[in-house]
Structure 1
Amino acid sequence: MNKNLWALPLLAALATACNSTSTNTAGADGKPDLLYAALDTTVAPGDDFFSYANGTWIKNHPIPASESNSGIGIEVQKEVYGRLRQTSIDAAKANAAAGSNQQKIGDFWAVGIDSLKADKLGIAPIKPELDRIAAMKTAADVPGVIAHEIPLGVRALIGPRVGQDDKNSDKMALYLHQSGLGLPNRDYYFNTDTRTKNIRRSYVRHVANTFKLLGQDSTTANANAARVMALETALARSSRKLEALRDPYKNYNKMTLAQLDKLTPGLDWKTWFAQMGATNVDSVIVGQPEFYQMVGQLLKTKPVDDWKAYLTWQVTREFAPTLSQPFVDESFRFYGTTLRGAKAMRPRWKRVLDMEEDALGDALGQLFVKEYFKPEAKARYDTLVKNVVSSFAQHIQNVDWMSAPTKVVALDKLHKITPKVGYPNKWKDYSNLTIDRSSLTANVMRANQWQYNYQLNKLGKPVDRTEWGMTPQTYNAYYNPSNNEIVLPAAAFAVPTLLDADADDALVYGYAGASTIGHELTHGFDDEGSQFDAKGNLHEWWSKEDRKRFNERVAVIVKQFNGYTLLDSLHINGKATAGENIADLGGIVIGLDAFKKTKQYKEGKKINGLTPVQRYFLGYALGWQMHVRDESLASQLLTDVHSPAQYRVNGPMADVPAFYEAFGVKPGQKLYIPDSARVKIW
């Protein structure tokens, strides 16, 4: 339930402002005014508030050739990369003590940036895995090989993970989810529009080209690519659609191992789990039983040559970005250009930093917060969280569709939400993770294995509710229903080119209070999060009448977003994006009432001709200041539960009466919705 998907920026708050090509028009006090500088006043706010708020910025920030989008996340990301790059370079030169975090950061960087070594090694780093696959004699050997590959990070056939039991949040459970596809999700295998059919054809060519890089002749490579596509299509046929994956009850099917064996005749799950390191497992939560029925059937009916082709592809696909340049280029051609629309590959050093973040994120995080997230900033956002929670409590008390008894329980849940702001109080211990200069691939494999073991080690142990699922340098946030918590990394509050001290409350309350804090709080009460109680358990705590009235309002927002058309003929999936759309709308109205208690709102002074409330709404729009390539946008519509940025602004704004008042929106304008037809939940 993340704020957005543009991750990995650094917090600029209270640090040196980063460089930008934009002009930050100053207000009367001489401070830069990002909101005013971004405006496109040729657009009427009531027709397209997103373009009005962000249009000039977007015109001045074309999408870099190496990116699929240009936006606020990319701008903040410029600083994170610069700082993490220098940290890594310094670590590589430091001759640090063996086993220290600095040694690991330095060695990961040094071998990662060494493209000549990667080219010299060729496929050697994955050769043992390819040999293991080639040595399979019958399909009976397949589960054992998969058990070896999954801990290394290969998403082959099945999707095990460890997480809190949705119906018993004090216990860690083993889950099985649908997995194993090389395309982003099932719809790519079946949609009949021209764009998707072209992607399918390109995918098969990409798989064949990868096999050729491994040394297969054209005939063999093409035959194996067809095998891969046929097997993945069978898996996709039994995979659930994006919107179906959001129903927590239907995706919770707890089974004993005997029941799981019965679901998939011929498979011995106890042995298979033991091969994956999961011993003493007595039950498992299966997300999509029909998918695992297909897994069992395929393991009985597909010949071993099909599995050799499939697993060879999955291993190579996973590690191609770490191998020699031909593999890197071929992977980028499909996953970067065909799927995302990027015109050029990002510099190697940025790609290595991304891998380093995945492998050693907490080690980097410790260095990050020490220098860049000062106590003054943390205090400001701790207070902001309290103010938004207080505002939400008032909204719960005032809504007319929720009964008094349910309001009592809702308020109890709200006040039991744990806010985690900035950074964790304890960090992951990487002491048993080996990082050296043998190869980038080996380091990525070992880091994946470490993370797998770290998660697996939680089974049978008390739940650690202090743990964070994001690093503090991540430009994102989330609500975790099992812990009933909102997690707000330090970088989630970053505003590029602007010091925190120079950001007025209107901007901060819109940008952080609405689009991040209020948004995540509301997730606890959206169509999915509302099904979990204050202790984090999947449990119906609403009355039937309350749920009915709530669902009636959700149906209206689903219909509203289903009606938005992009790229000529593609539509937003209103049902799949409902939770995020509810949270966006909730965050705006809750954050606004919190802002109304500030000194800036009460004084009512204009800055560059903008009232405090106008600046609040512009602050919210700043959070979605981005534009995206058509290819990436088309992919987002099929795979993402978040609406595109433009509609995360225009969609909810059309339902907020205060927006109409602030900008004089009138009938006949494109965003105008009659009051009786507007969505009102919180």
Structure 2
Amino acid sequence: MKNLSAPHRAGAAALLLTLAGCATSQPVATTNPATAATAAPAAPQELGPGRSINLADIDRSVSPCEDFFQFSGGNWLRNNPVPGYASSWGPRNLLNDRTQATLRALLEDAAADPSATPGSNRQKVGNYYASGMDSVGLEQAGLKYLKPELARINGLKSLADVQAEMARQQTMGTGAFFRAGVSPDRKNSAQYAVSMSQGGLSMPDRDYYLKDDARSLAVRTAYVQYLTNTFKLLGESETAASAKAKAVLRLETRLAAASKDRVSLRDPYASYNKMTVAEADKQFPNMALPTLLKRNGLGAAQEVIVGQPEFFKELSNVLKQTPLADLKTYLSWQLVSSVPTALPKAFSDEAFRFAQVQSGAKQQPTRWKRMLGATDGTLGEAFGQLYVDKAFPPAAKQKALTMLANIRESMAEHIQTNTWMSEPTKQEALKKLAALRVKIGYPDQWKDYSDLTISRESYLKNVLAARQWSYQQNIKKYGGPIDRTEWSMTPPTINAYYSPPMNEIVFPAGYLQPPFFDPEADDAVNYGAIGGVMGHEMTHGFDDSGRQYDSQGNLRDWWTPADAAEFTKRAGVVGTQYSAFSPLDSVNVNGKLTMGENLADFAGLTIVYAALQKQLDQQYGKGKRPLIDGFTPEQRFFLSWAQLRRTNIRPEALRQQILTDPHSPGQYRTIGPLMNMPEFYQAFGCQPGQKMVRTDADRAVIW
């Protein structure tokens, strides 16, 4: 459920099943939703067992009006502790296990096929996965395939050499110093632009470098140990390794101090600073930007969009003021730390030890799971076609499209009947909604991997070759028409996203699986599950950040000042509500960081609930509702929403999530929107004074 406002580099297959029962359909009854949760009516009024709502997971010792997170899934939470290899555990992880089983069979079949046509997608997928699984070969190779790159860095003799290596590492995706790429110009979405943004940090957040609280100190100490141990694996003595670790930390701390925090990064205007290449070169002289762009195939660019000018000013100072030896050490570290699974096991073990401090995980995922994720991130569309054939029939795609059309219609009605938005702003909002592009399941046009060579000689060579190929694919866009067929997630991914510059919502086939989406389930379950996600992504276009883009994806203020002020005031109520949530002692949710996702949850659920009501009226008649498993459709809708967000999470991972993740923890994504919805109160007969019920004065109302 991402809001992609910058180039997205596809990573490992997302982690993400609950049990599905059997469904039958039949008689319709007029029911009292206030009592249906506890007392089912006579048999003729009730349908058969429903799919996707697991009754055994419900904790009936808890009132739904006091804590719906515990009521909806308390038994499941008690019976499903986090496995040793995970930092959190929920329905996405369970669906991911099932998806991985399908993908593993496809990959192992390709890897075992000696007759695959040379240069074919099947051959490339098989070779990539097989080379990654060859742990014996990795140990035997040692640093053989890394040494040429390390030697190149070791041979740098001047700042000009460092600048050349910095350009090369951009093509290899190591993360050194900053991030850059080609993406739609956010103020002119009909053309591509070169964008640059802050980066270069190896720890998850700038605060870990700058704060001295116990959590930050623990992570920083573990990071220094990780650095030291890795340099020792590269052949350094204890003393030299320690010195190099300190050099890296010192340099990255300077970058961290110049970096904007995550809340500040949510302002799209502040991150849009277009300037000529000549002006950028003047402001950041030690980057040699014109030469860097030329080296990397972007010499034709006359302008760049700089995300954070103050960061790049400091980066320029760092390049000039830092001793050459320390710059070389940093570049070596960025390279090595970006490829630990492509090196002997000791390197990935060190990386995992550092990750443990952040996540609390007890053991690494097995090698095949890591290689499956890597193959999906690199060649996901090459075998994604096979996955789609197995897991996503055309009928499922059509049902999903129908749901989306109903939800879009509901959103339009909410805009039209909005009581605080003026007519000019409403018309712009409706125009944006009408222009929204919808992508379901898989791309209409698949990626062409013909220029990418993959062999079984070396997994590291494959990783670097794939990164350089991906970089070339990105820069080839510059100067050409906007490619609106491109996807930023692979078909098996269990996630979805909204892209403001493209004004599109995308739902990969991996997400459109039970229990998130089940064509055989009743509408209430599907609308509460994947429907909630559809509404979430759709309303990202109207959250505090997405609303700043127009129907064509341009960063443009189309709100009247009064409407913008009213939206900000109403959104601020949501921010205050979430900032009051505290899952751990002295740890509160950051209502500003999570604002966009919270607004999308709340607004999305509101419009989807209305869409479901229309669907039920058409199916059963106005005011008539069936019972399934003793629950009304309205109750099943909210239960479905909640059961797919139940999550057990380790304290370490929860602390890191609150610091770095724009999504609120699962328990607050469950109850936060419902506490603002009178529809929820009515469905479960909640009364004023109960914890799930906010007073009119405290309740947020947006759409």
TM-score, scaled relative to structure 1: 0.95
User: Of the candidates 577, 596, 614, which is equivalent to residue 597 of structure 1?
Assistant: 614
Return the offset for 1:25.
8.6
Structure 1 CA distance, aligned partners of 2:319 and 2:232?
Answer: 26
Distance 1:311 1:265, change over 3 A: same
Structure 1 CA distance, aligned partners of 2:667 and 2:12?
Answer: 18
Residue 2 of structure 1 aligns with which residue?
Answer: 2
Contact 1:26 1:33 in 2 (8 A): no
Distance 1:510 1:296, change over 3 A: same
Structure 1 CA distance, aligned partners of 2:50 and 2:59?
Answer: 20
1:465 maps to 2:484:
yes
User: Of the candidates 171, 196, 212, which is equivalent to residue 191 of structure 2?
Assistant: 171
Residue 14 of structure 1 aligns with which residue?
Answer: none
What does residue range 191-340 of structure 1 map to in structure 2 within 5 Å? 191-335=211-355, 337-340=356-359
1:73 maps to 2:92:
yes
Structure 2 CA distance, aligned partners of 1:238 and 1:9?
Answer: 31
Unaligned runs of 5+ in 1: 12-17
1:504 maps to 2:522:
yes
1:401 maps to 2:434:
no
User: Of the candidates 117, 138, 146, which is equivalent to residue 137 of structure 2?
Assistant: 117
1:641 maps to 2:659:
no
Residue 97 of structure 1 aligns with which residue?
Answer: 117
Distance 1:517 1:31, change over 3 A: closer
DSSP 3-state at the match of 2:691 = coil
Structure 2 CA distance, aligned partners of 1:145 and 1:465?
Answer: 33
Return the offset for 1:450.
1.0
Structure 2 CA distance, aligned partners of 1:226 and 1:112?
Answer: 32
Structure 1 CA distance, aligned partners of 2:609 and 2:673?
Answer: 13
Contact 2:12 2:377 in 1 (8 A): no
Residue 129 of structure 1 aligns with which residue?
Answer: 149
DSSP 3-state at the match of 1:502 = coil
Structure 1 CA distance, aligned partners of 2:15 and 2:344?
Answer: 30
Return the offset for 1:6.
11
User: Of the candidates 353, 356, 370, which is equivalent to residue 389 of structure 2?
Assistant: 370
Contact 1:8 1:80 in 2 (8 A): no
Structure 2 CA distance, aligned partners of 1:26 and 1:620?
Answer: 18
Distance 1:310 1:546, change over 3 A: same
Q: What's the C-alpha RMSD, in Å, of the aligned pairs? A: 1.9
Structure 1 CA distance, aligned partners of 2:586 and 2:506?
Answer: 36
Contact 1:238 1:291 in 2 (8 A): yes
Residue 448 of structure 1 aligns with which residue?
Answer: 467
Residue 653 of structure 1 aligns with which residue?
Answer: 674
User: Of the candidates 175, 185, 208, which is equivalent to residue 155 of structure 1?
Assistant: 175
Contact 1:138 1:303 in 2 (8 A): no
User: Of the candidates 616, 628, 631, which is equivalent to residue 637 of structure 2?
Assistant: 616
1:62 maps to 2:81:
yes
Structure 2 CA distance, aligned partners of 1:653 and 1:595?
Answer: 16
Contact 1:393 1:411 in 2 (8 A): yes
Return the offset for 1:667.
3.2
Structure 1 CA distance, aligned partners of 2:80 and 2:154?
Answer: 49
1:523 maps to 2:543:
no
Structure 1 counterpart of 2:683, which letter?
A
Structure 2 CA distance, aligned partners of 1:286 and 1:161?
Answer: 11
Contact 1:10 1:473 in 2 (8 A): no
Distance 1:555 1:213, change over 3 A: same
Count of residue correspondences: 671
For residues 426-447 of structure 1, the C-alpha deviation after alignment (integer angstroms, 9 at most, x for no partner) is 1000011111101111111111
Structure 2 CA distance, aligned partners of 1:23 and 1:267?
Answer: 56
Distance 1:6 1:580, change over 3 A: farther
Structure 2 CA distance, aligned partners of 1:467 and 1:88?
Answer: 24
1:185 maps to 2:205:
yes
Structure 1 CA distance, aligned partners of 2:633 and 2:531?
Answer: 14
Structure 2 CA distance, aligned partners of 1:33 and 1:256?
Answer: 55
Structure 1 CA distance, aligned partners of 2:410 and 2:51?
Answer: 29
Structure 1 CA distance, aligned partners of 2:342 and 2:649?
Answer: 26
1:629 maps to 2:677:
no
DSSP 3-state at the match of 1:616 = helix
User: Of the candidates 604, 610, 614, which is equivalent to residue 587 of structure 1?
Assistant: 604
For residues 162-214 of structure 1, the C-alpha deviation after alignment (integer angstroms, 9 at most, x for no partner) is 11000000111110000000001211112232111111111111100110111
For residues 551-597 of structure 1, the C-alpha deviation after alignment (integer angstroms, 9 at most, x for no partner) is 10011111111111122111111111111110000011100000002
Contact 2:50 2:628 in 1 (8 A): no
Unaligned runs of 5+ in 2: 5-9, 25-46
1:559 maps to 2:576:
yes
Return the offset for 1:258.
1.2
1:607 maps to 2:628:
yes
Return the offset for 1:3.
7.8
Structure 2 CA distance, aligned partners of 1:279 and 1:437?
Answer: 35
For residues 71-97 of structure 1, the C-alpha deviation after alignment (integer angstroms, 9 at most, x for no partner) is 111111111211111111111222201
Return the offset for 1:676.
2.0
Structure 2 CA distance, aligned partners of 1:301 and 1:9?
Answer: 41
Contact 2:53 2:640 in 1 (8 A): no
For residues 105-155 of structure 1, the C-alpha deviation after alignment (integer angstroms, 9 at most, x for no partner) is 111121111111111111222111111111112333211111112211200
User: Of the candidates 577, 584, 593, which is equivalent to residue 594 of structure 2?
Assistant: 577
DSSP 3-state at the match of 2:13 = coil
* Structure 1 stretch displaced more, 61-70 or 385-394: 61-70
What does residue range 16-27 of structure 1 map to in structure 2 within 5 Å? 24=21
Structure 2 CA distance, aligned partners of 1:78 and 1:164?
Answer: 35
For residues 353-401 of structure 1, the C-alpha deviation after alignment (integer angstroms, 9 at most, x for no partner) is 0110011010121111122111110111010000000000110011111
Structure 2 CA distance, aligned partners of 1:51 and 1:124?
Answer: 53
Structure 2 CA distance, aligned partners of 1:25 and 1:56?
Answer: 21
Structure 2 CA distance, aligned partners of 1:279 and 1:271?
Answer: 8
Residue 531 of structure 2 aligns with which residue?
Answer: 513
For residues 260-294 of structure 1, the C-alpha deviation after alignment (integer angstroms, 9 at most, x for no partner) is 01211344211111122322111100000000001
Return the offset for 1:24.
4.8
Contact 1:101 1:430 in 2 (8 A): yes
For residues 391-434 of structure 1, the C-alpha deviation after alignment (integer angstroms, 9 at most, x for no partner) is 00110011111001211111111111111111111100001111
Structure 2 CA distance, aligned partners of 1:165 and 1:499?
Answer: 34
Structure 2 CA distance, aligned partners of 1:552 and 1:112?
Answer: 52
Structure 2 CA distance, aligned partners of 1:26 and 1:33?
Answer: 9
Residue 361 of structure 1 aligns with which residue?
Answer: 380
Distance 1:314 1:119, change over 3 A: same
Structure 2 CA distance, aligned partners of 1:612 and 1:36?
Answer: 15
For residues 505-533 of structure 1, the C-alpha deviation after alignment (integer angstroms, 9 at most, x for no partner) is 1110011112x111111011111111111
1:537 maps to 2:554:
yes
Contact 1:63 1:70 in 2 (8 A): yes
Residue 42 of structure 2 aligns with which residue?
Answer: none
Residue 27 of structure 2 aligns with which residue?
Answer: none
DSSP 3-state at the match of 2:275 = strand
User: Of the candidates 487, 492, 503, which is equivalent to residue 511 of structure 2?
Assistant: 492
Structure 1 CA distance, aligned partners of 2:168 and 2:310?
Answer: 24
